[in-house]
Amino acid sequence: MDATSSAAVVAQMADAAEAFLGTLDEAGRVAATGRLGGRDYRQWTYLPGPRPGLCLADMSVEQRATVLALLDAGCSAAGAKTARAVIGLDMIHRQLVADPDLEDHRFWVRVLGDPTGEQPWAWRVNGHHLAVHVVAVSGSIASTPSFYGANPATVPSGPHRGLRTLSDEEELARLLLADLDGPLRTAAITSDRAPADIRTRFDPVADPTVIDRGLAHGDMTPAQQDALQRLVRHYFGRATEATAERAWAEAVEAGLDEIRFGWAGSDIRGEGHYYSVLGPTLLIEYDNTQDDANHIHTVWRDLRHDWGDDLLLEHYAEGHPS
């Protein structure tokens, strides 16, 4: 990873976090801040409901703008754009179902630790169908768990009819599946029934043993390998460039041929389907089964860097105070 570019991103994130915190009164700061590594540090969910932090619904327009600036600083341009789209889609869904009990801006932001100091710190934006977790340690960044969802995946009616969110997550996998035939296809399709949700759910620690084996990269043709690599790099591309490149370099070092792609459910559009990508360093899941297969859940877990655990261990092992 390019240490210079990563350090620059950390500095930009720190500036954005400070700009956000600077807009808050004392009560807002209490709600929006916490201690890095606290008891709830690894607790997260993508389901509806309140989270620790300050809710966007309780913010001014100026404060919401600083939160979006933090997303822009700590994600890639594509990742931040998609995160914004997920937030916007939640409002579209609220309008489609016309449920007055659904809350507006059901997303919370939290800053953990001191972004102005030299110690590790983190921030997160969590809410229904969105979980962005970023931790900064000595100029390095970890960006998982990374969950993006979409309901509806394709807006069926109204002024936004036809709008698709997370379309590349589906299309890149379909391109790979369509190129598989014979024994390769048989190995890749692990079940004719898709699970009702991603298998790792919102577990604090992702368990790779719950993922079916599927078809190995090493058993694919070069064109199929290229398709699988594009799919993996698309998920990595949610993070900043330096973080994505580190994730890719570690996947290559661990052995691309060990990465496995599995598909479950139907290959017919509009019917429930699921896929997983599992390698020594990564776990990716995609599920589209709910609401007549128009409701997507996706997650990327870095099996080495989730929550920045290894970065934090290295930091403290070097004698830095906790």
Domain assignment present for residue 206? The answer is yes
242 and 275 housed in the same domain: yes
Domain assignment present for residue 39? The answer is yes
Token pair belonging to 242: 């330096």
Work out the angle between the directed axes of helices 77-97 and 61-74 (0-180°, nearest 10).
140
Domain assignment present for residue 296? The answer is yes
150 and 171 housed in the same domain: no
145 and 197 housed in the same domain: no
Last residue of a domain, one of 154, 181, 204: 154
Provide the residue range defining the domain that includes 218.
Answer: 167-308
Domain assignment present for residue 314? The answer is no
How confident is the model over 193-221, as pLDDT tens digits? 999 999 999 999 999 999 999 999 999 99
Given a contact cutoff of 8 angstroms between Cβ atoms, the answer to whether 106 and 55 are in contact is yes
- Work out whether strand 146-150 and strand 296-302 pair parallel, antiparallel, or are unpaired: antiparallel
| C-alpha of 257 from chain center | 24
- CA distances (Å), origin 308, targets 43, 61, 84, 305, 313: 14, 31, 24, 5, 9
Domain assignment present for residue 215? The answer is yes
SS3 38: coil
Domain assignment present for residue 8? The answer is yes
pLDDT per residue rounded down to tens, the chain (322 residues): 455 578 899 999 999 999 999 999 999 999 999 999 888 999 999 998 899 999 998 999 999 999 999 999 999 999 999 999 999 998 888 778 776 555 555 899 999 999 998 899 999 999 999 999 999 998 899 999 999 999 999 999 999 999 999 999 999 999 999 999 999 999 999 999 999 999 999 999 999 999 999 999 999 999 999 999 999 999 999 999 999 999 999 999 999 999 999 999 999 999 999 999 999 999 999 999 999 999 999 999 999 999 998 889 888 766 556 5
Distance CA 236, CA 244 (A): 5
Beta bridge partners of 275: 263, 286
How many domains does the chain fold into? 2
- Work out whether strand 260-265 and strand 189-191 pair parallel, antiparallel, or are unpaired: parallel
Token pair belonging to 250: 């570690």
Which is nearest to 78 in space by CA: 185, 236, 232?
Answer: 236
DSSP string, 265-306: E--STTS-EEEEEE-SSEEEEEEE-HHHH--EEEEEEETTTG
Does the CA dihedral 85-90-91-95 come out positive or negative? positive
Last residue of a domain, one of 154, 179, 204: 154
Last residue of a domain, one of 154, 189, 219: 154
| C-alpha of 21 from chain center | 24
